[in-house]
Structure 1
Amino acid sequence: MKLRKRLVRSYRMASLIAVIALLPLLAACSGGGSEGTPSSSASSPPPSASEPSSETPAAERDPVTLTVLAWFIGPNQALFDKFHEMYPWITIEANTNIDKAVVNNVIAGEKADLVFLDAGLSQWLSGDLLEELSPYIEKDPRIQGTVMPDGFLEAFRTGGKQWVLPYSDIPMWVVVNKEMLHKYGLEMPGNDWTYDDFLELAKQATDSAANDWGVSGMVDEFTNMLAMANGSAPNYRYMNEDRSLSLANTPAVLEDLKWSQELTTKWHVRPSDLEREKLGMQGDPVEVFLQGNSLFTLGADWNLETLKKADFEWDVLPMPVGKAKQATIHQTGLIAIPKASKYKEEAFLYLSFLFSKEAQKVMIENGSGAWVQDQELHDYYAQVPVWQGKNIDAVRRSSEICCYSPDPSVADLVTLVDTVNGPIAGMITKGGDFSSRIPAVEAYNLKAAETRKALGW
């Protein structure tokens, strides 16, 4: 299952949860679940979580099994295996039998030492269900000694506290059908290409009579990245600087939405929904791309297995440069430690491990990015089989440019996805006046402000 589809599905499933209405319930459920729970760590974290405090040899340590709750494990299994190789007394087992949202399993009292969050933090924090990680991070020599992009850890803080860290860094990039470039006498653009270049190439490669198209898909995430690159919205999901408000009602974002919509309605480089149905181009845009008649589509590491099936030559480019900067979205999965875990020290050891070069190399081998800045890792992209023969500098640049998902500090994330961004994405390909969505944006902003106030953000 692809990460994006997994997130969308879980958001929709979780949309049944009324966040504000659940505040008392969550608080009550979590109160009994964590009080008096034994833990291998004291109330304060160990002096050095990334270096086990005891000198006891691994063979003499008591075995520990950590349970992670998640919808899907996939490439994370390789990380679990590498962690076990480095810390052989600790095993990680997955429970993927999720009750609508991961938080429900925790409320029900299921064993959990690590959780992959699937719908933001509002439900978790209202019930005081998570361990605060800042004290651990401050005393962890591995994380403290790691060079990361400016503001990286801060991007995952909420209300001044660190409840989550990333377990993946998946930058998105553009996939190019090189055979279509050759067919229309076009050249592969450089890694500093612009959105104007993107449109011009798409126009030249479109011949609807021959069923050739400039674009397959490239709707929701693409438009989000366009808004960030143009400086219209500082954050993913059209959010403002501190992620407190949606800017999807502002003139700048509305203009970006129109530009994206006109790929279908004006320039006709992307087929309409009706055309896609008639032409058999429905479904996953990357699967449609494999038909060989689309110049561009959007890609990420979860598409690489699908792209291996292509019977034509393809390559990658970073997202284009906008009016303000070059920006992609790093789909960063979020991991946290439940307060009720009996093995908090070992659980945080896994979080610390994710900042190691060994873990970062596993991510690169999978086609993901590395958030640790290190020359050895920079060079490693060229060594992994998945990128052989491809535009490796584009892959590196995609890993290095902004921006990271702000989901940890987005209040009422499910409401935002379901009532604001979802309908907007539909209008990009179906047509319509985006200003008609302004009342929904304003209603979300009001609800988000109330939630943030209730949570003390």
Structure 2
Amino acid sequence: MDKFSRRKNVIIGVLCAIILIFTTVIQSDMYKRTAWGTKHVITVGAFSDSYWEVQNGYSYYILNNAIQRFEEQYPNVKVRFESGIMKEDYSEWLAEKMLSGDTPDVFFVLPDDFNGLAELGALKDLSDFTAGDSTFDDGQFYDSAYAYGQLEGVQFALPYECAPKLMFVNKSILDREDIAMPEKDWTWNDFYEICSKVTKDTDGDGEIDQFGEVGYSWRDAFTSNGVELFNQDGTQCYLAGENTKKAVTFMDRLEECSGGVNVGSRDFDKGNVAFQPMSFSEYRAYKSYPLSVKKYSGFEWECIPMPSGPNGDNISSLDTLMVAMNRNTKNAKYAWEFMKILTYDKEIQSEIFKYSEGASVLKSVTDSDEAPQELGQHIDGSGILDQQILSDAIENAAVAPRFRNYDYAVAEIDRAINEIIEGQSNIGTELIIWNRSINRKLKNSGW
């Protein structure tokens, strides 16, 4: 054999060895763990504790499951996140990441931060993704939860988990006073009549010690009476409308019902108040041992929809944790796919009922046969929350228009309502005055 033939055979042998090694690596999935096998890394911004401020022992549990599911589908992509960030520090941490140019590709968005982040241009417009993805159907979400991620009609975030506001009812007080539980379609009149009847001095010491309600706010009254405070683009406020006047008048009557006593949530915890609006997440947090024993052991309680005003319905507000994409991400395709697993995957969404205190934003999950099993049953005689009440509360929840300076405008309205109720002036006249002031600021960007 001449020198050329030997060299040719050596080259062929080396090539065969390389092919054999390459084939072995591919078949064994070893390439996924090599630098040249991992082509993409997406980063996620998340906090370690529960959004609902309840210690549940499942820090990052759902997130890790979502990451595992994603990496199985996309073996060439790794998902990484920085652990140990508490919710109370999360907004500041995220802001620092943005200032340093190290914004995560995907990150959770707190409701209080959404407007500001969207206005600053930190969030990517998801319209092209939602419209161009044949596997995505926004109709799978509750409309109210999905709308939570919109600013001026643009979708900047997807909902991850939510919690509507419900009315907690102290059944023990109603039983003692021989009052039937309100129906699901109860009204302001029903609410006021019960509050008036139960507010009394029960021990004869001359001081009122049992009350009708605590925590019912002007926002609850506005929502349940069909009040639309702003137009869609936030250039006009309608504080002087007839529905608003009725809501403020009703709030004024409720204030008088308490006899001037400053009632607090602690009074409800001790079993001295008939009604308190609370988030569904609080129902989840305190429905089972040991927290239910610790907080509500002295009385039976249930949750029902909020009362309706004369021009409204039995609806309430919705609190929603969202997921958004970095506007400048270089991994938009994979960021979108990971967002879908967090928010749109039924298995991941079903884990919210197991490992969090919120509710799934997918109708098919919250309405499923498995959801009631996860909601469980109360001790001390309290019953299971009606699944239809929960689903209806989410679906029908009011979603206010989101626009620039929204938070400032609402803060001004809050100040206005408090001053009107505390004062002795004509409610209708005061609403007109405040409405003019707020509209001037909206028109001239006075905030």
The Cα shift of 1:297 comes to: 0.2
How many angstroms apart in 2 are the aligned matches of 1:256 and 1:145? 33
Q: 1:147-296 counterparts in 2 under 5 A? A: 147-149=140-142, 153=146, 156-208=149-201, 209-226=207-224, 230-233=225-228, 238-240=229-231, 244-265=235-256, 268=257, 270=258, 272=260, 275-276=261-262, 281-282=263-264, 285=265, 287-296=266-275
Residues 67 and 446 (structure 1 numbering): CA distance in 2 closer, same or farther, change over 3 Å? farther
2:396 equivalent among 387, 398, 402: 402
CA distance in 1, matches of 2:390, 2:130: 27
Does residue 362 in structure 1 map to residue 351 in structure 2? Answer: yes
Partner of 2:373: 383
* Displacement after TM superposition at 1:362 (Å): 2.9
Distance 2:236 2:30 in 1: 51
Pairwise mapping of residues 114-133 of structure 1 onto structure 2 (< 5 A)?
A: 114-119=107-112, 123-133=116-126
**Residue in structure 1 matched with residue 337 of structure 2 by the alignment:** 349
Residues 151, 215 of structure 1: alpha-carbon distance in 2 compared, 3 angstrom cutoff: closer
Which amino acid is 2:255 matched to?
Answer: T
Over 3 Å counting, the alpha-carbon distance change for 1:190 and 1:349 in structure 2 is same
Partner amino acid, structure 1, of 2:214 = S
Contiguous gaps of at least 5 residues in structure 2: 1-28, 53-58, 72-77, 202-206
Question: How far apart are residue 326 of structure 1 and its match?
Answer: 2.4
Residue 160 of structure 1 deviates from its aligned partner by 4.2
Residue 19 of structure 1 is matched in structure 2 by none
Aligned residues: 376
For structure 1, the residue ranges without an aligned partner over 5 or more in a row are 1-55, 453-457
Query: Residue type matched to 1:338 in 2?
Result: N
**Which stretch of the first structure deviates more once superposed, 330-339 or 182-191?**
330-339
Q: Is the 8 A contact 2:302 2:385 kept in 1?
A: yes
CA drift of 1:387 comes to: 4.9
Distance 2:388 2:364 in 1: 17
Offset at 1:125? 4.6
Paired residue for 1:86, among 69, 72, 90?
Answer: 69
Normalised by the size of structure 2, how large is the TM-score? 0.71
Question: 1:337 is matched with which residue?
Answer: 325
Of 310, 319, 322, which aligns to 2:296?
A: 310
Counterpart of 2:226, as a letter, is: G
Distance 1:397 1:348 in 2: 27
Mean Cα deviation higher: 70-79 or 389-398: 70-79
- Per mean C-alpha deviation after superposition, the further-off stretch among 77-86 and 315-324 is 77-86
Q: Would the aligned equivalents of 1:70 and 1:102 in 2 still touch at CA under 8 Å?
A: no
Quick check: 1:249–1:438 contact (8 Å CA) kept in 2? yes
Which residue of 43, 46, 49 corresponds with 1:66? 43
The residue aligned with 1:436 is 430
CA distance in 1 between counterparts of 2:413 and 2:162 reads 25
- Residue 143 of structure 1 aligns to a residue whose secondary structure is coil
Identity among equivalent pairs (%): 17
Aligned 1:104-115 pairs, distance under 5 A = 105-113=97-105, 114-115=107-108
CA offset digits 1:252-284 (Å, max 9, x no partner): 20221121121012xx1x353xx22xxxx44xx
Q: Is contact 1:168–1:332 with CA below 8 Å preserved after alignment?
A: yes
> What is the rounded CA distance, in whole Å, between the counterparts of 2:235 and 2:302 in structure 1?
37
The letter for the 2-side match of 1:392 is D
Match of 2:136 among 138, 143, 153: 143
> Contact 1:90 / 1:346 at 8 angstroms: preserved in 2?
no
Q: Could you tell me whether the CA contact under 8 Å between 2:140 and 2:364 is conserved in 1?
A: yes
Aligned-residue offset at 1:115: 4.4
- Is the Cα contact below 8 Å between 1:102 and 1:116 reproduced in 2? no
Secondary structure class of the residue paired with 2:363: coil
For the 8 Å contact 1:213–1:271, the answer to whether it is kept is no
> Is the Cα–Cα contact under 8 Å of residues 357 and 377 in structure 1 kept in the other structure?
no
Give the C-alpha shift of residue 189 in structure 1: 2.0
**Cα distance in 1, alignment partners of residues 370 and 362 from structure 2:** 12
Select 1:319's aligned residue among 295, 306, 309: 306
Q: 1:293 to 1:119 in 2, by over 3 A?
A: closer
Q: Cα distance, 1:200 vs. partner?
A: 1.7
- List per-residue Cα deviations over 1:56-97 (Å, max 9, x = no partner): 999657384623166965468443133124224434445453
Q: For 1:364, give the aligned amino acid.
A: F
Deviation at 1:392, TM superposition (A): 1.6
